Amino acid sequence: MKLPNLNEARKRTNKETEYIYLNQNYDKKAFVGEKYFLKTYGCQMNVHDGEEIASRLESLGFTPTDTLEQADIIILNTCAIRENAHDKLYGFLGRCKHAKKNNKNLIIGICGCMAQEESVVKELIAKHPYVDIVFGTHNIHELQDLILNRKNKQNIEVYSCEGNVYENISYKRDSNIKAWVNIQYGCDKFCTYCIVPYTRGKQRSRKSSEIIKEVEQLVKNGYQEVTLLGQNVNAYGKDLKDEMSFAQLLEAVAKTNIARVRFVTSHPWDFTDEMIETIAKYDNIMPYIHLPLQSGSSRILKLMGRRYTKEEYLNLYAKIKKAMPNCAITTDIIVGFPNETDEDFKETLDVVNKCQYDSAFTFIFSPREGTPAAKMEDETDMTTKEERLQELNKLINSYSLAANKKYIDKIVPVLIEGISEKDKNKVFGYTDTMKLVNITNGQDKIGQIVNVKITDAKSFSLDGIIEE
């Protein structure tokens, strides 16, 4: 058993990343006829990890179920980015404990970013002994062995900061139209509020040759869209000798002729002119950039360790819009960072007014154990923070609506992804700028990119009809 240690995770060793080619012929069908329930919280990285976990469970013979009570194994893939994640974990564990009373053989597993937190793992050991296995973000490849080797005690396998790159991973992809492709793991930015560099370890880029091979295979399998995934995609390759830049990688991926290429998440500090040129040059690189601002106040940005000022961010924004006027830009913003003043908050509103984002994810600062910001003194009360969040959301929603209204009566290409969950008579898809469109016809067009006439716009979606 190896426990995670946040202090240890802060130290980056000089150990070179190992590239390990997994043997995929895992054929131990020990659980045929048994069912798995997998619940994933958090970011796209976690969602994609969930696709690997599902594949590993199925290699053991498990089949999926959406009903917790029917499960023979429950895996909870956790997120640690904000504190409310803890409530979700412990709430969920209550349900698992109850399910285990009715099914003594039920296996309960906890993984994901919270499994990389020392205090969480200690609490699982001390207070939740009915949890059978715990594995971290670096140990997913060990899942089958962890399940097979547990012996009436918790089987815990978590590493803190080291991480390798595993190739030949099998995924049970959620979609056969669009796919996530990891290009990089971990993060070395250490923004002062963020737990990710601790839970996911140092930045490790995959080799470009492997990434291209994966995308080429996806094209062969009929996929229309790939999203290149990393905590900080524009720093791609900086941890390797003689590797491509992110712009070059984007270009190489675009040249595979996949219909659509997307990427998340970009850090403004690493965003180069070369990237802007490449995105503008290729029709199959989507004109959509998620560009986290976090705060509009240069003073707070400095405390956050973001490495750019308000002015530098606005300059980058202007450069992108100059090269691609129709590029959609979305963002992440944190309000209530320790000792954020009204003046600081006004600076954030000012940037929102200048950038008029297509949409934004907004958060109240949540102190994360082990991060520098969690130790900063903070005198701002929660009511003020909540009021700021509300004011910010109101402003952002007004810009989202205005941006969406510009689409009314336009004809835009949409990749149709499936039947709408809310209305079975409709299908849904996304524009190249990542706007969700609900469409009244087109059940026979799933998986295709078709021209859609936009008929109405709301803050979070568009309505449309396929142009025959």
Residues that bind ligand SF4 (CB under 6 A): 187, 189-191, 194, 196-197, 231-232, 267
Q: Looking at 194, 254, 395, 416, which residue binds ligand 5AD (CB under 6 A)? A: 194
Check residue 200 for interaction with ligand 5AD (CB under 6 A).
no
Distance CA 105, CA 84 (A): 30
Residue 368: alpha-carbon gap to chain centroid? 18
Interacting span for ligand 5AD (CB under 6 A) from 220-228, 351-359, 362-370, 390-398: 362-370
Residue closer to ligand 5AD, measured from CB, 80 or 183: 80
Cross-strand partners of 262: 227
Q: Which ranges of 113-178 would DSSP assign to H, the alpha helix? A: 118-127, 143-149
- Strand 204-205 and strand 165-167: the pairing is unpaired
Check residue 121 for interaction with ligand 5AD (CB under 6 A).
no
> Measured in Å, how far apart are the chain's first and last C-alpha atoms?
61
| Min separation Cβ 232 and ligand SF4, Å | 5
Neighbouring C-alpha atoms within 13 Å toward the C-beta of 358: 25
Residue closer to ligand SF4, measured from CB, 73 or 334: 334
Distance CA 113, CA 198 (A): 9
Check residue 166 for interaction with ligand 5AD (CB under 6 A).
no
Could you say which DSSP state residue 294 is in?
Answer: B
For 86, 184, 195, 225, the CA distances from 228, given in Å and listed in that order, are 29, 9, 22, 10
Distance CA 301, CA 293 (A): 9
Residue closer to ligand 5AD, measured from CB, 113 or 131: 113
For 79, 162, 291, 366, the CA distances from 83, given in Å and listed in that order, are 9, 24, 23, 6
| Min separation Cβ 246 and ligand SF4, Å | 14
Peptide bond into 341 cis (omega under 30): no
99 contact, one of ligand SF4, ligand 5AD, none, CB 5-8 Å limit per kind: none
Interacting span for ligand 5AD (CB under 6 A) from 165-173, 360-368, 403-411, 413-421: 360-368
Residue nearest to ligand 5AD (CB): 332
Could you say which DSSP state residue 68 is in?
Answer: G
| Min separation Cβ 137 and ligand SF4, Å | 13
267 contact, one of ligand SF4, ligand 5AD, none, CB 5-8 Å limit per kind: ligand SF4
Interface pattern 294-333 for ligand 5AD (x via CB under 6 A): x-------------------------------------x-
| Min separation Cβ 68 and ligand SF4, Å | 31
Residue closer to ligand SF4, measured from CB, 4 or 197: 197
Dihedral angle, C-alpha 441, 446, 452, 454, nearest 10 ° = 70
Residue closer to ligand SF4, measured from CB, 197 or 338: 197
288 contact, one of ligand 5AD, ligand SF4, none, CB 5-8 Å limit per kind: none
Q: Looking at 356, 363, 419, 436, which residue binds ligand 5AD (CB under 6 A)? A: 363
Question: Is residue 127 classed exposed, middle or buried when 0-12, 13-18 and 19+ CB atoms within 10 A define those classes?
Answer: exposed
- Residues in 40-99 at the binding interface with ligand 5AD, rule: CB under 6 A: 81-82
Q: For binding to ligand 5AD (CB under 6 A), which residues are involved?
A: 81-82, 193-194, 292, 294, 332, 334, 363, 365-366, 368
